[in-house]
Structure 1
Amino acid sequence: MSPSTLPLKTVEWIVYQVYLSCLSQFNTYSSGCDQHFCSPAMPCVGAQALLAPMFCLRLVDSTWNAAVKNFQDSIREVFFSRVEDGYYPHTWHINTRVRKSVLLSRYRVFRTIASEEGTWLRSRGVYLAYDIGGAQGCANPAQVIIKTWAVASDFECQREVAAYRALGGADPCPGVPVPRVAAAAYDAVCDVHALVLPKLGPTLEDLRALLPNNRFDARMVLVVAIEMANIHARGLIHSGIKPGNICIAPRGSADAPSRLYAIDFGFSFALDTNSPLPSAHRIDAVGNRRFMSVFAHHGISQSQRDDLESLAYLLSYLFHSQLPWDGPIKQNGTSRSRSPPQQQHVWRLKIATPAAVLFRDMDECFHEFWRDVKALAYAEVPDYDKMRARFADCLAEYNKAASPCGWWDIWNECSQ
């Protein structure tokens, strides 16, 4: 008997029974996948094979097709396997939204890295997810980073998506590599705007926390300087340089062992090459106040010189584990925390801090780099080749007595 001759409700009951029968095969599935992170509404390749009896008639029988569609819609928020639990009391919360379905039809969120509640218009989050849309489905899913925003008009959403589109995910080198964008789209089911990026290695801040005295040695700082010196090769001002926005390459990747990736372009903007002077209007100060340039504190339009000034502060911070304007460390029982600096006076301290203090006990090449950066005019193109060559010559002297710096080797050694 054809399903078309039966009432829709009856066919829906049959579909449900077929679904239950398919579920019984999950533990004996020949691919060796013992759990599926996908859902009946958005199954992975392996789950599609198991659910084939449900789907085989969809193209030839309209009643069966309607019954399967109604069944999938009714259990859209049901998953075959559980992942890490996260309790969110409000259905409108962005954490709840990204976990209600398979995001963009192929990404299953399983961990919240960070999220901002705020108002609905300011709701955003960063998540770790399984990519179940690959050739092996849930059997061997890659992990990805997903950044989501509640509304497309979110300032950081617009800046970040525009930046990655401008960068194109390519790595022609020269230039600091950026992760390739896997997807950037609106998900109607979860009602969020999502940007999907590959999962990279730890950040420099993560690595610094493992090192003795929380300090990079001179050779490691030189590698960071060489990798980051050409950050503007594609015409973007980052405006958010800090250790937490620089990642090492993924473990086992084909990249050089010293390769670093710049991330988080939420405050970035394209350099206006047609304007030789800063804007006459004050702009909002964005970025981390510990690392932002003096001009950024005053709302003056930023250019290459500002990012390079931030890079100089970063290099000093990695070597000394603090900056001259950081507050003193306070001991609270067994924990230690640094009290925040008086934000309104940070720019004064930056102006008053000479290179001899900022780069104390560091090689002369850092002092020369600082002099070049402070001599730059607005929108003047820095001599990146000269900067990198200077750092490379200094690094070569260190490498005569040691093997080249590999971030994962350092990470493994410090993690033991």
Structure 2
Amino acid sequence: MPPQECPPAVIQCIIHWVLTSCVSSVNSDGIRHLCSASAPCKTALDLFSPFFTLKLVNSVWNNSIRELKLEAFFSNVEDGVYYPHSWHINTRVRKGVLLSRYRVFKTIQSEAGDHGVYDAYDFGGPKGCAGATEIAVKAWSSGSDMEFHNEVAAYRLLHNYSGVPQTFSGAQYDALCDVHILPMQKLGPTLDDLISVLPNHRLDARMVLTVAIQMIERYRDIHMTGLIHNGTKPANICLAPRGSNKKGMLYIIDFGFALPLEDNLPLPSAHRIDVVGNRKYMSVLAHHGISKSQRDDLESLAYLLSYLFHGSLPWEIPLMTRLRSYRSSTSDADKNQNEQPQVWRRKIATPASKLFRDMDECFHEFWRDVKALAYGEMPDYEKMRARFALCLETHEKGCEPRDWWGIWDECHK
């Protein structure tokens, strides 16, 4: 009987039998396959060749194959994970293989359900799933998302810069999962992760000085490309990938709030801009919607260095203090004011002697240099860096050399 005269049920049975035989062959090759029938790796594709040959017989069989659900994965990579909302970004990135080569297996962070960061396997190499590597994937539901455009533009400008993760193939849209994704280099833990495992939950003087030196280098490069990072916080600074030949390097990430410097120079915008960023670390002027320049990133860095050394900042109000203040308020207006204290007022009222208490004099000098900068003035990065480097040499005399991964592993013994 010619194929076009076969009843649809017979065609479906034949296709199902061939598909089952192909999947059995794939699963018997001794490789843990992370790919799927609709997006096979190179090894699986060779074993699937009879199935894809069948698709070429005629249009009736080809259409019947299309009706089959070929998104099923060969190997499970997550246990006990269930995402009930089809619209949520966590569900979308797991609907299929992203760009026919990336398989998400862990959520690092997802906010509001419309964007997130994930760990994924990349099986798109010549060895297929047998040579799969781990990467990071940033995903957005909407291609018009401001953070998506900022992120993509920033990584394009900073491509091949030291201390900035590399991206692969640029940002692309995956039609099956209906997401825009940016595959990128997988890094080590963040400084937030490191702080959480340290005994005192803060860095020692040598570690803070190392952060200062490297972050000045990062901001020098970022500013030279015409960008303001606008995202200073411990969670946006990562250790190098484990096993990297740059194991002592710190990487800076998250450019979703990055701003082009050229939009406002030589004078600040006459209009108030949106206040975006982490209020804990943002500059005082940024709280008021004043357009940012290099000095704002460096002021945020000063707050970060103080936090890393002390484990807290002077304007952080303990939860119990906030609750007591809230309950003792007599009017709704007072309650609202106590519930959301004006952080910028506390920043202005905090002297350098308190912000950098018990810290080396080089931090006080750095603070004075930053506060003396005019809007858009190019900082003397080398002078700032050299000052911290000299202080670090003093601290390291007679000490054993340390690296970030060594500290991390020591805390996990």
TM score, norm. by length of structure 2:
0.88
Asked if structure 2 preserves the Cα contact closer than 8 Å seen for 1:100 and 1:190, the reply is yes
**Cross-structure match for 1:286:** 276
Distance in 1, matches of 2:130 and 2:189, equals 25
- Residue 76 of structure 1: SS of its match in structure 2? coil
Deviation at 1:13, TM superposition (A): 3.7
- Paired residues for 1:280-319 under 5 Å: 280-319=270-309
- Paired residues for 1:1-400 under 5 Å: 7=6, 9=8, 10=10, 13-29=13-29, 32-33=30-31, 35-56=32-53, 61-63=56-58, 67=61, 70-71=64-65, 74-84=68-78, 85-117=80-112, 123-167=114-158, 169-171=159-161, 173=162, 177-182=163-168, 183-230=170-217, 231=219, 232-255=223-246, 257-272=247-262, 275-328=265-318, 343-400=340-397
Q: 1:274 to 1:289 in 2, by over 3 A?
A: closer
- Residue 262 of structure 2: SS of its match in structure 1? coil
The worse-fitting range, judged by mean Cα deviation, of 72-81 and 183-192 is 72-81
Asked if structure 2 preserves the Cα contact closer than 8 Å seen for 1:98 and 1:190, the reply is yes
Q: 1:69 to 1:86 in 2, by over 3 A?
A: farther
| Pairs aligned (count) | 390
Distance in 2, matches of 1:112 and 1:190, equals 16
Q: 1:318 to 1:328 in 2, by over 3 A?
A: same
Deviation at 1:329, TM superposition (A): 6.1
User: Structure 2 regions of 5+ residues with no counterpart?
Assistant: 322-337
Q: 1:142 to 1:48 in 2, by over 3 A?
A: same
Distance in 2, matches of 1:270 and 1:66, equals 54
Q: 1:385 to 1:69 in 2, by over 3 A?
A: farther
Distance in 2, matches of 1:78 and 1:273, equals 47
**Cross-structure match for 2:329:** none
Distance in 2, matches of 1:190 and 1:114, equals 18
Asked if structure 2 preserves the Cα contact closer than 8 Å seen for 1:279 and 1:301, the reply is yes
Asked if structure 1 preserves the Cα contact closer than 8 Å seen for 2:37 and 2:71, the reply is no
Asked if structure 1 preserves the Cα contact closer than 8 Å seen for 2:90 and 2:116, the reply is yes
Distance in 1, matches of 2:37 and 2:151, equals 33
Asked if structure 2 preserves the Cα contact closer than 8 Å seen for 1:282 and 1:300, the reply is yes
Asked if structure 2 preserves the Cα contact closer than 8 Å seen for 1:107 and 1:131, the reply is yes
Deviation at 1:69, TM superposition (A): 6.6
Deviation at 1:273, TM superposition (A): 7.2
Deviation at 1:343, TM superposition (A): 4.5
Asked if structure 2 preserves the Cα contact closer than 8 Å seen for 1:41 and 1:72, the reply is no
Query: Which one has a larger percent helix, Structure 1 or Structure 2?
Result: 2
User: Structure 1 regions of 5+ residues with no counterpart?
Assistant: 332-340
Distance in 2, matches of 1:330 and 1:206, equals 25
Distance in 1, matches of 2:60 and 2:164, equals 44
Asked if structure 2 preserves the Cα contact closer than 8 Å seen for 1:134 and 1:141, the reply is yes
User: CA-to-partner distance for each residue in 1:376-399, whole Å, 9 max, x for gaps?
Assistant: 001101011111111111111122
- Residue 346 of structure 2: SS of its match in structure 1? helix
User: CA-to-partner distance for each residue in 1:274-302, whole Å, 9 max, x for gaps?
Assistant: 72211000011111111000011010001
- Residue 24 of structure 1: SS of its match in structure 2? helix
Deviation at 1:262, TM superposition (A): 0.7
- Residue 38 of structure 1: SS of its match in structure 2? coil
Distance in 1, matches of 2:64 and 2:385, equals 61
Matched, 1:411 2:405: no
- Give, as a single letter, the amino acid of the residue that structure 1 aligns with 2:73: F
**Cross-structure match for 2:330:** none
The worse-fitting range, judged by mean Cα deviation, of 141-150 and 262-271 is 141-150
Asked if structure 2 preserves the Cα contact closer than 8 Å seen for 1:240 and 1:268, the reply is yes
Percent identity reads 59
Asked if structure 2 preserves the Cα contact closer than 8 Å seen for 1:12 and 1:68, the reply is no
Q: 1:188 to 1:53 in 2, by over 3 A?
A: same
Q: 1:385 to 1:73 in 2, by over 3 A?
A: farther
Asked if structure 2 preserves the Cα contact closer than 8 Å seen for 1:54 and 1:68, the reply is no
TM score, norm. by length of structure 1:
0.88
Q: 1:284 to 1:265 in 2, by over 3 A?
A: same
Q: 1:22 to 1:62 in 2, by over 3 A?
A: closer
Q: 1:96 to 1:66 in 2, by over 3 A?
A: farther
Deviation at 1:56, TM superposition (A): 4.5
- Residue 212 of structure 1: SS of its match in structure 2? coil
- Give, as a single letter, the amino acid of the residue that structure 2 aligns with 1:104: L
Deviation at 1:52, TM superposition (A): 2.4
Deviation at 1:72, TM superposition (A): 5.2
Distance in 2, matches of 1:129 and 1:68, equals 31
Asked if structure 2 preserves the Cα contact closer than 8 Å seen for 1:181 and 1:196, the reply is yes
For the aligned residues, what is the CA RMSD? 2.3
Asked if structure 1 preserves the Cα contact closer than 8 Å seen for 2:27 and 2:74, the reply is no
- Residue 129 of structure 1: SS of its match in structure 2? strand
Q: 1:215 to 1:100 in 2, by over 3 A?
A: same
Asked if structure 2 preserves the Cα contact closer than 8 Å seen for 1:204 and 1:246, the reply is yes
Q: 1:240 to 1:202 in 2, by over 3 A?
A: same
Distance in 2, matches of 1:166 and 1:272, equals 14
**Cross-structure match for 2:327:** none
